């Protein structure tokens, strides 16, 4: 146990990311399960910068070797695993819904087929706006989830930042009364406008930098919001706060993802506190609900500089937990201008 504690302390000192013996144990358990760096990050559920540092320290202590692009336990590593009784990860996720708790069926099925074709022509993710989008199944699973919770039918829905083409999926479902999107990237707004015209979707799509306060007419005008904020406490406060500012009243809902890839649990706790302080209740937390398609700019992201082996990610590794929040009495949004860099902290890896 001493060695886990020692590595955790060293890793925290080198990365400024909170680390526990349990963090080291989880990384070792992931290495038992897979030699692939990205899968180790995925399975361990620890922030990428911390996983990379822990692996380097395990290597320094002779417990792990890097052979080509493979991460393997040494004989000493295997002995430690036996001594501490560390076990491999075993998944029991539902294979029917992929653990999301909803399936795309019935009236949503036809809209989803259309969406699959439409999204093939979407503009690629670019680094400038820290973009990354989820799989089309994932986008539609969010529609299914929100409908399941009663947040779409006859409602005014707003999407703040729309890498995932949520607005198109929502409008194709035919459920909301109105769909608005605010998005900084003109390419995306133009694409959504074109699709909206072609399919008669009536999406209200506008170019807007969310660091600026919201256009006046969207404040207090919506029943439900969707957003996908950058992964710092400040950014979540700002972007979710914007979402909350668009809501009409109490008992309205918001949807967004928060990842473990760039967040320690200590940071998560601060994030949850910010949400509670805004007058929100966290009604749903769905682990690894969101799965991001690997983006082309991985070599430019901070995480790539940190990896102990240089193998491009092949399978999906960047996932996030889906949050659903609801406003109660006394809720308060955030619509001040955002100043300074709110995109980066010690735990971020994709910026």
Residue numbers at the binding site for Fe ion (CB under 5 A):
94, 96-97
Nearest distance from residue 92's CB to Fe ion, in Å? Answer: 11
Of 138 and 156, CB closest to Fe ion: 138
Of 98 and 351, CB closest to Fe ion: 98
Please report, to the nearest 10 degrees, the dihedral formed by the alpha carbons of residues 271, 275, 278, 280 taken in order: 180
Of 52 and 286, CB closest to Fe ion: 286
Of 96 and 339, CB closest to Fe ion: 96
To the nearest 10 degrees (0 to 180), the angle between helices 107-119 and 136-148 is 150
Neighbours of 209 (CB within 10 A): 10
Of 144 and 280, CB closest to Fe ion: 144
Nearest distance from residue 229's CB to Fe ion, in Å? Answer: 27
Of 90 and 96, CB closest to Fe ion: 96
Element of type H or E holding 253: strand 253-258
Q: How far is CA 12 from the centre of its chain?
A: 23
Burial group, residue 219, by CB count within 10 angstroms (0-12, 13-18, 19+):
middle
Of 97 and 281, CB closest to Fe ion: 97
Nearest distance from residue 97's CB to Fe ion, in Å? Answer: 3
Of 94 and 207, CB closest to Fe ion: 94
Beta bridge partners of 254: 225, 325
Q: Are 209 and 143 in contact (CB under 8 A)?
A: no
Q: Which residue of the chain is nearest Fe ion when measured via CB?
A: 94
Nearest distance from residue 232's CB to Fe ion, in Å? Answer: 32
Nearest distance from residue 281's CB to Fe ion, in Å? Answer: 25
Please report, to the nearest 10 degrees, the dihedral formed by the alpha carbons of residues 100, 334, 231, 347 taken in order: -140
Of 101 and 123, CB closest to Fe ion: 101
Report CA torsion sign: 65, 71, 76, 77.
positive
Nearest distance from residue 252's CB to Fe ion, in Å? Answer: 27
Nearest distance from residue 288's CB to Fe ion, in Å? Answer: 13
Task: Select from 163, 149, 184, 194 the least CA-distant residue to 257.
Answer: 163
Neighbours of 78 (CB within 10 A): 13
Q: What is the DSSP string of 145-208?
A: HHHHTT-STT-EEEEES-TT-HHHHHHHHT--SEEEEEES-HHHHHHHHHHHHHTT---EEEE-
Parallel, antiparallel, or unpaired for β 204-207 and 224-227?
unpaired
Burial group, residue 307, by CB count within 10 angstroms (0-12, 13-18, 19+):
buried
Nearest distance from residue 138's CB to Fe ion, in Å? Answer: 15
Nearest distance from residue 175's CB to Fe ion, in Å? Answer: 22
């Amino acid at each position: 146990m001493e060695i886990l504690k020692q590595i955790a302390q060293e890793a925290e000192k080198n990365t400024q990311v909170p680390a526990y013996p349990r963090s080291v144990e989880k990384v070792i358990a992931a290495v038992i399960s897979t030699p692939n760096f990205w899968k180790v990050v995925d399975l361990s559920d620890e922030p990428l910068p911390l996983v990379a540092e822990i692996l380097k320290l395990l290597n320094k202590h002779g417990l792990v070797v890097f052979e080509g692009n493979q991460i393997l336990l040494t004989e000493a590593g295997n002995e430690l695993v036996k001594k501490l009784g560390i076990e491999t990860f075993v998944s029991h996720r539902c294979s029917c819904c992929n653990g999301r708790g909803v399936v795309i069926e019935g009236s949503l099925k036809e809209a989803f087929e259309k969406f699959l074709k439409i999204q093939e022509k979407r503009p690629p993710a670019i680094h400038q706006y820290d973009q990354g989008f989820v799989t089309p199944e994932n986008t539609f699973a969010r529609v299914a989830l929100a409908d399941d919770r009663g947040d779409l039918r006859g409602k005014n829905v707003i999407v703040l930042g729309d890498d995932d083409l949520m607005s198109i999926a929502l409008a194709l479902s035919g459920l909301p009364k109105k769909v608005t999107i605010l998005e900084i990237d003109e390419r995306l707004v133009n694409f959504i406008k074109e699709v909206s015209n072609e399919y008669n979707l009536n999406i209200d799509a506008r170019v807007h930098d969310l660091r600026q306060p919201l256009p006046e007419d969207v404040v207090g005008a919506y029943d439900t919001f969707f957003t996908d904020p950058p992964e710092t406490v400040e950014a979540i406060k700002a972007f979710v706060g914007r979402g909350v500012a668009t809501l009409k009243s109490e008992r309205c809902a918001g949807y967004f993802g928060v990842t473990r890839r760039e967040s320690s649990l200590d940071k998560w706790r601060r994030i949850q506190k910010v949400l509670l302080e805004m007058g929100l209740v966290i009604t749903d937390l769905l682990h690894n609900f969101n799965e991001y398609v690997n983006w082309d700019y991985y070599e430019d992201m901070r995480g790539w500089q940190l990896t102990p082996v240089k193998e491009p990610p092949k399978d999906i590794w960047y996932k996030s937990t889906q949050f659903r929040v609801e406003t109660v009495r006394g809720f308060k949004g955030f619509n001040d201008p955002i100043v300074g860099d709110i995109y980066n902290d010690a735990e971020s890896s994709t910026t």
